[in-house]
């Protein structure tokens, strides 16, 4: 049979993060002793009160369809959270609950982008942004950054790429894969540039807002001049250790929220009613009022510091101080051209494969995030695993000359 698959799907790349963790799971199942630093998800349990709320939902038969955009009480609770914690005012009808932040980003992109519209993405970026943009027919414009600028874009860089075809600008702060986060001042300066492009929408992915160690989180939508054009993306996957529950949301202009409701209504309908009831409890938790979340964030900070200590022994891997999330994104260019006698490292993929085969540590090549000079290391695993992995990486890198 000739290729029957649509061009749309043929042009789509496989998610490198999911692919690498799938490969690692397979190798482990075959009995290989691999330490997985490829996937980015909290290795902590969902808070007890959230699990209790879900059990109660099942026992009370809250097992039916809900409104596509989510239960009214959940949307109300999200609006209250956004007002109290993020200082952004949204009415419940501006909120659409979905099966994870990933779906919310896809909803927004598909509702905003026409074929040929430009989707501007600072690189490094989370793997799915350009792919979702492509799926929507967008033409992706990347803004490169480097470790020297903590992988952050400047207002000047943004101004130089924006034009009348730019429809969406999408970024995450704190960032996956770099851990960098934009300060209030930096966002304010970017907001001033965005204000000059009235047709541009800003997708602000704030999924790591609680996992921040230096400074505090600022939401892009607090800047009044651009608020109507900001799509605030968030969810419970990272901050509440709920990746498997599939619960995310967006908050945006009411007409855009209504369009996303229409799209979701034809594709997936509502997110799981049980996860939504769990989220009514989860959404009220934060690092200030939940010891479980606070302890998780403190553990990530401790791990970051320990990983960075080990990194001092590998000067060929140049990294900045991540402010949050649970990744480091070292520039590994200094290792390109080196060899252990049998394997030559020419790029990020070679190095990732070398670390997998030689150190038995899984990482993700940076090219998947838009920077082929880097690799991504996730420290969302136990200290014991991390120390073992870092020692193995050091030994393997020392074999290269
Ligand atoms: N945005 C970023 C930056 C992420 O790292 C992730 C996690 N893969 C997501 C969105 C998706 O989150 P969710 O599990 O809620 O779909
Ligand atoms: N946030 C995670 C990562 O980047 C989850 C995997 C995914 O959805 O891409 O590794």
* Ligand 2 atom at minimum distance from 16 CA: 9
Helical ranges in 268-382 per DSSP H = 273-282, 291-311, 348-354
- Which helix (DSSP H) or strand (DSSP E) does residue 362 occupy? strand 361-362
pLDDT of residue 20: 85
Q: What is the mean pLDDT of residues 298-307?
A: 98
> Measured in angstroms, how far is the CA atom of residue 127 from the centroid of ligand 2?
8
At 339-379, the pLDDT tens digits run 999 999 999 999 999 999 999 999 999 999 999 999 999 99
The distance from CA 13 to its chain's CA centroid, rounded to whole angstroms, is: 17
CA-based max dimension of the chain: 64
Q: Which ligand is nearest to the CA of 105?
A: 1
What mean pLDDT comes out for the span 11-29? 88
Mean of pLDDT values over 91-111: 98
CA of 89 to the centre of ligand 2 (A): 29
> How many whole angstroms from 46 Cα to the centroid of ligand 2?
18
Ligand 2 contacts CB of residue 186 (under 6 A): no
Q: What is the pLDDT of residues 213-226, one digit of tens each?
A: 988 999 999 999 99
Q: What is the average pLDDT across 298-313?
A: 98
Over residues 226-235, the mean pLDDT reads 98
Distances (CA, A) of 147 to 177, 265, 312, 333, 373: 12, 42, 16, 11, 10
Give dist(CA 348, CA 335) in Å, integer.
9
Q: Is the sign of the CA dihedral 236, 237, 241, 246 positive or negative?
A: positive
- Mean pLDDT over 115-122 rounds to 97
Whose atoms come closest to the Cα of 211: which ligand? 1
Residue 126 CA: which ligand 1 atom is closest? Answer: 3
- The CB-based long-range contact list for 16-22 (8 Å cut-off, 24+ gap) reads 16/127, 16/364, 16/365, 16/368, 16/369, 17/127, 17/364, 17/368, 20/352, 20/362, 20/363, 20/364, 21/362
Is the pLDDT confidence value at 22 over 90?
Answer: no
| 258 — pLDDT class (breaks 50, 70, 90) | very high
Give the pocket of ligand 1 (CB within 6 Å): 40, 100-102, 126, 172, 176, 205, 207, 235, 237, 243, 248
Rounded-to-integer distance, Cα 178 and Cα 176, Å: 5
CA of 44 from ligand 1 middle (Å) equals: 16
**pLDDT at 21 (0 to 100):** 85
Residue 18 Cβ < 6 Å to ligand 2: yes
Q: How far is C-alpha 359 from the chain's CA centre?
A: 26
pLDDT attached to residue 215: 85
Q: How far is CA 257 from CA 179, 244, 342, in A?
A: 29, 24, 55
Average pLDDT of span 109-137: 97
pLDDT score for 179:
97
Residue with tokens 């809250």: 62
How many angstroms separate the first and last alpha carbons of the chain? 49
Mean pLDDT of 153-173: 98
Q: Which of 174, 176, 369, 370 to mutate to test the pocket of ligand 1 (most atoms within 8 A of CB)?
A: 176
Does 56 have pLDDT greater than 80? yes
The C-alpha atoms of residue 290 and residue 134 are separated, in whole angstroms, by 39
| In the chain, where the domains are located | 2-45+290-398, 64-282
Residue pointed to by tokens 């769990």:
278
Q: What's the pLDDT band for 35 if we cut at 50, 70, 90? A: very high
According to CATH, the topology of domain 2-45+290-398 is 3.90.1150
Q: Is 292 in the pocket of ligand 2 (CB under 6 A)?
A: no
The answer to whether residue 285 scores a pLDDT higher than 90 is: yes
Whether a cis peptide bond, with omega within 30° of 0, leads into 124 is yes
Query: Which whole number is the average pLDDT over 100-129?
Result: 97
Q: Which atom of ligand 1 is nearest to the CA of 208?
A: 3
Nearest CA to ligand 2 atom 3: 40
Quick check: 399 pLDDT over 90? yes
Give per-residue pLDDT as tens, 319-337: 999 999 999 999 999 999 9
The average pLDDT across 308-325 equals 96
Angle between the 48-59 and 273-282 helix axes, to the nearest 10 degrees? 140
**pLDDT tops 90 at residue 53:** yes
Q: Is the pLDDT of residue 300 over 90?
A: yes
Query: Which of 39, 98, 100 maximizes ligand 1 atoms within 8 Å of its Cβ, making it the mutation to test the pocket?
Result: 100
Measured in Å, residue 18 CA sits from the centre of ligand 2 at 7
CATH class, range 64-282: alpha beta
Centroid of ligand 2 to alpha carbon of 297 (angstroms): 18
Distance of CA 154 to the CA centre of its chain: 21
* Predicted local confidence at residue 18, as pLDDT: 87
**Ligand 1: residue whose CA is nearest its atom 8:** 40
Residue 16: pLDDT band (50, 70, 90) is confident
- Substitution candidate for ligand 2 out of 15, 19, 104, 127 with most atoms within 8 A of CB: 127
Q: What share of the chain is helix, strand, coil (3-state, %, to 5)?
A: 45, 15, 40
DSSP assignment of 101-138 equals HHHHHHHHHHHHPPTT-EEEEEES--THHHHHHHHTT-
Predicted pLDDT at 338: 97
Radius of gyration of the chain measured on its C-alpha atoms? 21
Measured from the alpha carbon of residue 19, the closest ligand is 2
Give pTM, 2 decimals: 0.96
Closest alpha carbon to 271 in 22, 29, 38, 75: 75
Q: Tokens 């909803």 — which residue?
A: 107
pLDDT at 1 exceeding the cut of 80? no
Averaged over 304-333, what is the pLDDT?
A: 97
Task: Report residue 79 as tokens.
Answer: 């609006």
Ligand 2 pocket residue status of 243, Cβ below 6 Å? no
Residue by residue, DSSP assigns 67-95 as -TT--HHHHHHHHHHHHHHH-----GGGE
For atom 4 of ligand 2, the residue with the nearest CA is 40
pLDDT of residue 17: 87
Is 48 exposed, middle or buried (CB count within 10 Å of its CB: 0-12, 13-18, 19+)?
exposed
Please provide the average confidence, as pLDDT, over all residues in the chain.
96
Mutation pick for ligand 2 pocket among 15, 18, 174, 352 (CB with most ligand atoms within 8 Å):
18
Span from the CA of 181 to the centroid of ligand 1 (angstroms): 16
Q: Where does the pLDDT of residue 203 fall: very low under 50, low under 70, confident under 90, or very high at 90 and above?
A: very high
Query: Where is average pLDDT lowest: 12-26, 257-271, 314-328, 367-381?
Result: 12-26
């Amino acid at each position: 049979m000739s290729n029957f698959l649509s061009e749309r799907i043929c042009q789509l790349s496989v998610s490198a993060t999911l692919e690498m963790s799938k490969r690692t799971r397979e190798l482990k199942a075959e009995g290989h002793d691999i330490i997985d630093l490829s996937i980015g998800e909290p290795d902590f349990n969902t808070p007890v009160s959230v699990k209790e709320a879900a059990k109660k939902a099942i026992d009370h038969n809250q097992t039916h369809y809900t409104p596509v955009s989510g239960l009214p009480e959940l949307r109300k609770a999200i609006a209250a959270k956004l007002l109290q914690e993020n200082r952004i005012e949204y009415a419940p009808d501006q909120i659409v609950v979905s099966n994870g932040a990933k779906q919310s980003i896809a909803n927004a992109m598909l509702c905003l982008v026409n074929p040929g519209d430009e989707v501007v993405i600072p690189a490094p970026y989370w793997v799915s942004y350009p792919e979702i943009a492509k799926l929507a027919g967008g033409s992706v414009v990347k803004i490169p950054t480097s470790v020297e600028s903590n992988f952050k874009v400047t207002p000047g860089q943004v101004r130089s790429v924006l034009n009348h075809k730019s429809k969406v600008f999408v970024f995450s702060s704190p960032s996956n894969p770099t851990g960098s986060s934009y300060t209030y001042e930096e966002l304010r300066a970017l907001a001033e540039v965005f204000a000059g492009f009235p047709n541009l929408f800003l997708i602000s992915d704030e999924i790591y807002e609680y996992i921040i160690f230096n400074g505090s989180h600022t939401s892009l939508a607090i800047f009044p001049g651009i608020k109507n054009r900001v799509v605030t993306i968030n969810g419970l996957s990272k901050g509440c250790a709920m990746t498997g529950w599939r619960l995310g949301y967006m908050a945006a202009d009411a007409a855009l929220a209504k369009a996303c409701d229409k799209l979701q209504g034809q594709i997936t309908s509502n997110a799981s009613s049980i996860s939504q009831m769990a989220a009514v409890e989860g959404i009220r938790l934060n690092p200030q009022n939940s010891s479980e979340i606070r302890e998780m964030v403190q553990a990530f900070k401790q791990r970051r510091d320990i990983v960075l200590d080990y990194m001092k022994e590998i000067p060929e891997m140049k990294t900045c101080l991540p402010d949050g999330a649970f990744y480091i994104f070292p520039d590994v260019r200094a290792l390109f051209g080196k060899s252990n006698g049998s394997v030559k490292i020419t790029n990020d993929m070679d190095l990732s494969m070398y670390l997998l085969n030689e150190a038995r540590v899984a990482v993700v090549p940076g090219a998947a995030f838009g920077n082929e000079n880097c690799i991504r290391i996730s420290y969302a695993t136990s200290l014991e695993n991390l120390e073992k992995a870092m020692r193995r990486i050091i030994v393997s890198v020392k074999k290269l000359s």
